[in-house]
Structure formats: C-alpha cells, structure tokens
Amino acid sequence: MRRPTSRTMKRRMMIAGAMMPMLTAGCVSVSAPDKPIVINLNISVTQEVVYRLDGEAKSLIQSNPGIF
C-alpha cells in the first residue's frame, strides 16, 4: 500500500474542513433567554487620603491660615 502524497493529504483535509460545518450544523443552537439578564453590582468604594507635611510647610500653613 502506497503512502498518500502531501497533495492528497491536503485535498483530504480541505474536504474534511468543508464538511465539518455541515456535520455540526444541527448541534449548535442560539436562542434568546425568556427572562431578562440581571447583573447585581454591589460595589463599595472606600478611599483614604493620607498626607504628611514637611515641618516648614506645616508651620507656614499654621502661621498663614488664609493661604489656601
């Protein structure tokens, strides 16, 4: 028995590839759900701001409260 050539193998693969959608056509079905899709997003965002002032900047702000 002879080994198939690469050309023959390519043909067989192309034929098999062309037949695959026909074979799987009845297996896949897509339908819309009866009930609406509900997504509950319970998100809690907490932010903490930590600041440190340089000693000179702190004394400057305390001596001039209207600077800001």
Q: Provide, rounded to the nearest whole percent, the portion of the chain with pLDDT above 70.
A: 88
User: Are the C-beta atoms of residues 67 and 60 closer than 8 Å to each other?
Assistant: yes
**Is the whole model's pTM more than 0.85, yes or no?**
no
CA 54 to chain centroid, in Å, comes to: 43
Whether the pLDDT of residue 26 is over 70: the answer is: no
Q: Provide, rounded to the nearest whole percent, the portion of the chain with pLDDT above 90.
A: 4
d(CA 4, CA 8): 6
Stretch 33-42: mean pLDDT, rounded?
Answer: 90
pLDDT band at 1 (very low <50, low <70, confident <90, very high): low
d(CA 15, CA 8): 11
d(CA 13, CA 7): 10
